[in-house]
Structure 1
Amino acid sequence: MILTLCVAVVFSAVSMVSVRASLLTQTTSQSQADFSNMVEQAQTGLDASDATTTVQIQQLVNDLASNLQSDGASNLVGVYMWSRESTARSIIPISTEPTYEDVITSDIHSAVASDLNGNVFYQPVKLPISSDALGADTPGAVLGTVLDYGAAGNLEFFAIYSYALQQQSLTQIQLSLLAVCALLSVAVGVVMWMVIRGIVRPVEHVAYAAETLASGNLDTRVDVNRKDELGVLQRSFNGMADSLNQKIDELEEASASQKRFVSDVSHELRTPVTTMRMASDLLEMKKDSFDPATQRTVELLSGQINRFQDLLADLLEISRYDAGYAALDLVDADVRDPVNAAIEQVAGIAAAKQVDIRAMLPNVQVLAKVDTRRVTRIIRNLLANAVDFAEDKPIEVRIAANRKAVAISVRDYGVGMDANTVAHIFDRFWRGDPSRSRITGGTGLGLSISMTDALLHHGSIRVRSAVGEGTWFLVLLPRDPEQGEVTDSDLTVDFAGEAADDFSITGGFGVAESPVAERSSALVLASKQLMPRHDEPETGNAATDDEEGGAR
């Protein structure tokens, strides 16, 4: 609308300049033509006169000026004559309209007085007496020349013309153009608003439907009420929603079938695997009587059956999660007990790989409501993963607790992982380095099961890792899962940054308060002092006595 208004104003300005120039040229030509006729009429009258006395000459000039004023154009304001030279027989100056006599400037008067060739002089002027509606002076023009009259000498002849009518016409044209500009802008604005409204509203409906569809309402559709491109958009959206709905149904059906298949196969394989386990145990008991090759075969068979049993156990656990049957068996327990149990379970493979597990746990109870079996499994899986990638470097296990949350830290200083690998470590059947020799023989489900166990506690597992610097897991669990999740601000320890390779932490390790009221007559912190490695600076900020309620 503003652009249309600007174009209209520019067009009007150009039109006004053109119209004004045209009117000026036309009016000037008319005035000059009328003045030429008046000069010819006056010269004819003077030539035909036989006046000889001063009185006769004066009367002749008076009559001639009166006739010229009467016969002149409608915009002729006044006629003025006076002698060119001061002589005894010079006439009294004649003015048919004395009011405008001062408009004849000395410039044009001097030009006419000094002319010897009978030229016509033209000068635009302003007529101050008559004013238009805007209060500006009326434009006009003065034309002058010399009339040859031998009896009285040459006469200076002037005529003043008013352009008031032309000025009024020009003003009327200006007002009309302004009105047209305003009406055109309003009309264009209304049309543009209607057009844009007709385009935007259907698009808004489609956008709103898309947001509703994205929020999970897969039955959202838009009304198809147009036959143009917007109608194509409406039909395309509905087609996309139908296809998406169909694809989701297919995926859900495939996922359900896959879950049923895993569950059914896992349950069906338990009986034959149990039988194989019994047969393997029987052979294991008698392997000393076999030849060396057979003994080795029995050992390999027993190992593979163990892996098969672990895989079935993990698959059964996953199937319980998918079916929604997984539940917590919460008891008030000392968190150190499942942690120590997990360390004992992986102690054998850690010793085989010459990896030192350093358990730096508080020497006071850390009581919380937990499912000890699941917590043990979480820590065992994290330790088994750390052993595989520790590369003969120690693994550190620590505990931090406050009134609302418990944090269990498992850190190794092995090969570490890049950011892309960290993003997938909790995915099912995903292994960061399948080519690496692994003593634990993992199934690719351990970390996924650990994360699910943590989520069942309304907690989480957070990880930081960097290539060549190792991996650090923080298992964050609420002290009472029945109270729901614990906000980050209430955690006793957490990673400070968001980057996957940022090992800085907030808080410190230790017990800020006894987990149960009957055991917390005083805030006692007597956790073992964690000494930093000689080649690794301590990261994070340990809790102070004032901040955590006791010594670290």
Structure 2
Amino acid sequence: MNVPKLRRSFSFTRLLRHGRSEVRRSLQARTVALTVILTLAVAIVLSMVSMVSVRVSLLTQITSQSRADYSNMIQQAQTSLDAADVSATVQIQQLANDLASTLQSDGASNLVGVYLWSRDTSSPRSIIPVSTEPSYEPLISDDMRSAVASDVNENVFYQPVDLTLESGMAGIPGMPGGGTPGAVLGTTLEFGVAGNLEFFAIYSYTLQQQSLTQIQLNLVAICVLLSIMVGVVMWLVIRGIVRPIERVASAAEVLASGELDTRVAVDRKDEIGVLQHSFNTMADSLNQKIDELEEASASQKRFVSDVSHELRTPVTTMRMASDLLEMKKDDFDPSAKRTVELLAGQINRFQDMLADLLEISRYDAGYAALDLVETDLREPVSTAADQVAGIAQAKQVPIHLYLPNVQVLTRIDSRRVIRIVRNLLANAVDFAEDRPVEVRIAANRKAVAISVRDYGVGIAEDKISHVFDRFWRGDPSRSRVTGGTGLGLSISMTDALLHHGIIRVRSELGEGTWFLVLLPRDPDQGEVADADLPVDFASAKPDDLRITGGFGVAESHVAGAQESRRDTVDSMMGRPL
């Protein structure tokens, strides 16, 4: 039976990475993490100081106990030696052996071993060295033995040692473990028969070391638990501060999305409560300002609409008078004739401006509607080109039409599409600088694209986002005689949006400007995704003139040759595109 391997569900690296991310993006997590780290650091420092103090205290205490016990053993041993009545060497050796055993058994619980040997080893009555624990005898250093051997005042010598066992002794029951601190104490005992004896005792501090270890573990646990408790407390405290702020931030996002009635509950009296109250006050003020601006905007729109309508009658009268003067201008002197021509031109421009203002007012009032009819898209494009042909010829700018050689049937409002293309062509001719303007059509099953491209001065990158703004002019220094009203491209964009389409533009200084009018084949089906467009710009950069897709097979025509183009189309056979 094959048992599938379980994937490791825990990864310290992934946990650390997630923790870092949480600390970077969350004030609450960052504050708690910093507090826990500082608490842990302080606790560790205090624990280390406490451990040093406790260690010194324990060593001082156990050292005093060891010295006291060793003093008792010295008295006991000296009493036994003074009371002994021995003369033979065997008796002296037996006495030393019995004395070491007695001292070992009567000594303190941490006594490891007792060691006796004669100071003068050359004496015939010197004893064989006696030790109750031979394995620790190497801990008695030569310096210690020399100090005891040369002492004449019966002083007690003390030397701390490390009770490290040899590997062969590791299994002896009751023996202290390696690295355990201990001490060696030594002095001289008077024994008249055999001469003075050197007396050493080794004490182990195993219990004290275990106590220190247990204290260290307890302090570590206390530090960890204290840090966790402080972290939990800080989390709860910061959470109580952050959650109301999060609610205010969430309300601000909702308010920014357009829900102007959004408010937060004022449920506190501290600084957070001041923030909640300030947010509600700000929202009320903002709502009031928006209402005032909307009312001012509506009043302005009504004013523009009313003025535009009221001006139509006097402008019509002026137009009639101008036409009458235009019919008789040949009878006037040259100065009066030029005045009549200028008057007619300005009245025409005034009428165009009124028409644009009326159209804008209809958009603003929501009265604009489409009159959709299935139409060959080539017809409104050609009509718009013919309407601009006169201006183009006057400025010596050729308009080249590259239209498909088959019908491009599309449900559109022809009047609005003609206006879109006418405005784009007029703008292109105005900036073409005697270079040609190209018009193309691309189509697929879902959408159509009308391309208007000039090779003139181009538009600066910082200005291209304003080309569809109302009353914006690409070159403010241009004369108002030749310049437009600044509403044409804005009206064109609105006409495209009514078709659920869009107009996109790219431009580069010295390379010209390129407009793409992207419309669905059937506006009732809604907008068309960018991926379904027959042609589009390759990137979002405002100065990138590269495109994706293509315009297919097309016929070349020159604006103004309307009849010849129709004759050519009528003579060709082909199914609609």
Q: Is 1:130 aligned to 2:130, yes or no?
A: no
Contact persistence 1:397–1:411 (CA under 8 A): yes
Contact persistence 2:448–2:521 (CA under 8 A): yes
Separation in structure 2 between the aligned mates of residue 183 and residue 357 of structure 1, nearest angstrom: 83
| CA deviation after TM superposition for structure 1 residue 407, in Å | 1.4
Given candidates 117, 138, 152, the residue that maps to 2:151 is: 117
What does 1:217-256 correspond to in 2, within 5 Å?
217-256=259-298
Contact persistence 1:336–1:361 (CA under 8 A): yes
Contact persistence 2:459–2:512 (CA under 8 A): yes
| CA deviation after TM superposition for structure 1 residue 446, in Å | 0.4
Which residue of structure 2 aligns with residue 284 of structure 1?
A: 326
| CA deviation after TM superposition for structure 1 residue 185, in Å | 2.1
Q: Is 1:89 aligned to 2:125, yes or no?
A: yes
Separation in structure 1 between the aligned mates of residue 332 and residue 457 of structure 2, nearest angstrom: 41
Which residue of structure 2 aligns with residue 406 of structure 1?
A: 448
RMSD of aligned C-alpha atoms? 3.3
Which residue of structure 1 aligns with residue 562 of structure 2?
A: none
What amino acid sits opposite 1:89 in the alignment? R
Contact persistence 1:406–1:478 (CA under 8 A): yes
Which residue of structure 2 aligns with residue 5 of structure 1?
A: 40
Contact persistence 2:399–2:436 (CA under 8 A): yes
SS in 2 for 1:378: helix
Which residue of structure 2 aligns with residue 348 of structure 1?
A: 390
What does 1:314-325 correspond to in 2, within 5 Å?
314-325=356-367
Q: Is 1:528 aligned to 2:528, yes or no?
A: no
Contact persistence 2:458–2:511 (CA under 8 A): yes
Separation in structure 2 between the aligned mates of residue 402 and residue 244 of structure 1, nearest angstrom: 47
Given candidates 22, 31, 49, the residue that maps to 2:66 is: 31
Which residue of structure 2 aligns with residue 53 of structure 1?
A: 87
Separation in structure 1 between the aligned mates of residue 175 and residue 49 of structure 2, nearest angstrom: 26
Which residue of structure 1 aligns with residue 487 of structure 2?
A: 445
What does 1:356-505 correspond to in 2, within 5 Å?
356-437=398-479, 440-505=482-547
Separation in structure 2 between the aligned mates of residue 140 and residue 434 of structure 1, nearest angstrom: 98
User: Which stretch of structure 1 is more off in the superposition, 219-228 or 4-13?
Assistant: 4-13
SS in 2 for 1:187: helix
Which residue of structure 2 aligns with residue 540 of structure 1?
A: none
Separation in structure 1 between the aligned mates of residue 200 and residue 542 of structure 2, nearest angstrom: 99
User: Which stretch of structure 1 is more off in the superposition, 183-192 or 448-457?
Assistant: 183-192
SS in 1 for 2:466: coil
Pick closer, same or farther for the CA change 1:207–1:146 going to 2, 3 Å: same
Separation in structure 2 between the aligned mates of residue 77 and residue 293 of structure 1, nearest angstrom: 136
Which residue of structure 1 aligns with residue 243 of structure 2?
A: 201
Contact persistence 2:144–2:159 (CA under 8 A): no
Which residue of structure 2 aligns with residue 174 of structure 1?
A: 216
SS in 2 for 1:130: coil
Contact persistence 1:390–1:413 (CA under 8 A): yes
Separation in structure 1 between the aligned mates of residue 58 and residue 412 of structure 2, nearest angstrom: 100
| CA deviation after TM superposition for structure 1 residue 73, in Å | 5.8
Contact persistence 1:495–1:506 (CA under 8 A): yes
What does 1:179-194 correspond to in 2, within 5 Å?
179-194=221-236
| CA deviation after TM superposition for structure 1 residue 418, in Å | 0.8
What amino acid sits opposite 1:354 in the alignment? Q
Pick closer, same or farther for the CA change 1:21–1:235 going to 2, 3 Å: same
| CA deviation after TM superposition for structure 1 residue 429, in Å | 0.5
Identity of aligned residues (%): 73
Separation in structure 2 between the aligned mates of residue 181 and residue 78 of structure 1, nearest angstrom: 40
Pick closer, same or farther for the CA change 1:418–1:530 going to 2, 3 Å: farther
Contact persistence 1:51–1:60 (CA under 8 A): no
TM-score (norm: length of structure 1) = 0.83
Separation in structure 1 between the aligned mates of residue 207 and residue 411 of structure 2, nearest angstrom: 103
Separation in structure 2 between the aligned mates of residue 17 and residue 350 of structure 1, nearest angstrom: 98
| CA deviation after TM superposition for structure 1 residue 244, in Å | 1.8
Separation in structure 1 between the aligned mates of residue 427 and residue 323 of structure 2, nearest angstrom: 28
SS in 1 for 2:174: strand
Contact persistence 1:396–1:411 (CA under 8 A): yes
| CA deviation after TM superposition for structure 1 residue 304, in Å | 1.4
Tell me, which stretches of 5 or more residues in structure 2 are unaligned?
Answer: 1-35, 166-171, 559-573
Separation in structure 1 between the aligned mates of residue 257 and residue 506 of structure 2, nearest angstrom: 32
Separation in structure 2 between the aligned mates of residue 234 and residue 403 of structure 1, nearest angstrom: 55
| CA deviation after TM superposition for structure 1 residue 124, in Å | 2.5
| CA deviation after TM superposition for structure 1 residue 334, in Å | 1.6
Pick closer, same or farther for the CA change 1:92–1:365 going to 2, 3 Å: closer
Pick closer, same or farther for the CA change 1:144–1:129 going to 2, 3 Å: farther
Contact persistence 1:388–1:438 (CA under 8 A): no
Separation in structure 2 between the aligned mates of residue 279 and residue 80 of structure 1, nearest angstrom: 142
Separation in structure 1 between the aligned mates of residue 476 and residue 214 of structure 2, nearest angstrom: 91
Contact persistence 1:112–1:146 (CA under 8 A): no
Which residue of structure 1 aligns with residue 138 of structure 2?
A: 105
Separation in structure 1 between the aligned mates of residue 348 and residue 557 of structure 2, nearest angstrom: 36
Cα deviation, 1:91-110, whole Å, max 9, x if unaligned, reads 57667xx4x35423374478
Q: Is 1:216 aligned to 2:258, yes or no?
A: yes
| CA deviation after TM superposition for structure 1 residue 493, in Å | 1.5
Separation in structure 2 between the aligned mates of residue 496 and residue 4 of structure 1, nearest angstrom: 57
| CA deviation after TM superposition for structure 1 residue 294, in Å | 2.3
Tell me, which stretches of 5 or more residues in structure 1 are unaligned?
Answer: 511-524, 532-548
Separation in structure 2 between the aligned mates of residue 389 and residue 29 of structure 1, nearest angstrom: 106
What amino acid sits opposite 1:460 in the alignment? I
SS in 1 for 2:463: helix
Separation in structure 2 between the aligned mates of residue 139 and residue 318 of structure 1, nearest angstrom: 98
Pick closer, same or farther for the CA change 1:153–1:358 going to 2, 3 Å: same
Separation in structure 1 between the aligned mates of residue 443 and residue 275 of structure 2, nearest angstrom: 56
TM-score (norm: length of structure 2) = 0.80
User: Which stretch of structure 1 is more off in the superposition, 104-113 or 486-495?
Assistant: 104-113
Separation in structure 2 between the aligned mates of residue 94 and residue 441 of structure 1, nearest angstrom: 124
Pick closer, same or farther for the CA change 1:475–1:111 going to 2, 3 Å: closer
| CA deviation after TM superposition for structure 1 residue 112, in Å | 2.4
Separation in structure 2 between the aligned mates of residue 138 and residue 18 of structure 1, nearest angstrom: 19
What amino acid sits opposite 2:118 in the alignment? S
